[in-house]
Chain A
Amino acid sequence: ETGVTQSPTHLIKTRGQQVTLRCSSQSGHNTVSWYQQALGQGPQFIFQYYREEENGRGNFPPRFSGLQFPNYSSELNVNALELDDSALYLCASSLRLGEAGELFFGEGSRLTVL
């Protein structure tokens, strides 16, 4: 069973640039969520995708957008990067929408914005 994998693991961008982060969900999982974890903080919910559609969104501006593909993999796109976007971005997959089950996390993509 393949776990959740994320790429890239580290990247550095400058203010105003755009970034795309990628996630392959665990085999058999159809729901993917993205979280932002700033230094010293807990993960904050960005949004969730189920069957290629956004299912819910946290308190993040529209420049944070995402996609889910038919194979349930996902992308997180952030436009017009700001310094405060520097964080660890975590992708989590889960088995079924709406069930309070376990989230399976990847190791994250650490984004630094200069």
Chain B
Amino acid sequence: AQSVTQLGSHVSVSEGALVLLRCNYSSSVPPYLFWYVQYPNQGLQLLLKYTSAATLVKGINGFEAEFKKSETSFHLTKPSAHMSDAAEYFCAVTLTGTYKYIFGTGTRLKVLA
């Protein structure tokens, strides 16, 4: 069965600093991995996805993530945080041919001025 673990329920960074949000997955077969962002009182919006093509995936708003099979990780990074990045971020996993996506518990990012 697949699962994802997000380390750190809350992360604070200064504006302009590196953002690193951690996600580790568990899957018996090659997974498909996603990062979604949720702003207050809104649904989830896709940031980026890994579907077995390039291991370094670039997404919207300057975010990127690297799929590392040896570490079973898919950490989300952004070189320079902006105040507008403050939100909750969810890592998710699924397998092609299945019907459900499994989400992590989320990491709330706070950006300090």
- Residues on A facing B (Cβ under 8 Å): 4, 33, 35, 40-45, 48, 55-56, 58, 90, 92, 97-100, 102-103, 105-108
Contacts and interface: CB of A to CB of B under 8 A. Distances in A.
Given A100-B32, A102-B49, A43 B100 contact: no
Q: Chain B's interface: helix, strand, loop or mixed, by majority? A: loop
Interface residues of B, number: 27
Interface stretch (B64-72, B76-84, B102-110): B102-110
Contact of A108 (B43, B45, B90, B98): B43
B100 A33 contact: yes
B61 interface: no
12 contacts: A33-B99, A33-B100, A40-B106, A42-B90, A43-B103, A45-B101, A90-B44, A98-B96, A100-B94, A103-B44, A103-B46, A105-B44
Q: Chain A's interface: helix, strand, loop or mixed, by majority? A: loop
A5 B110 CA distance: 28
A58 B105 CA distance: 17
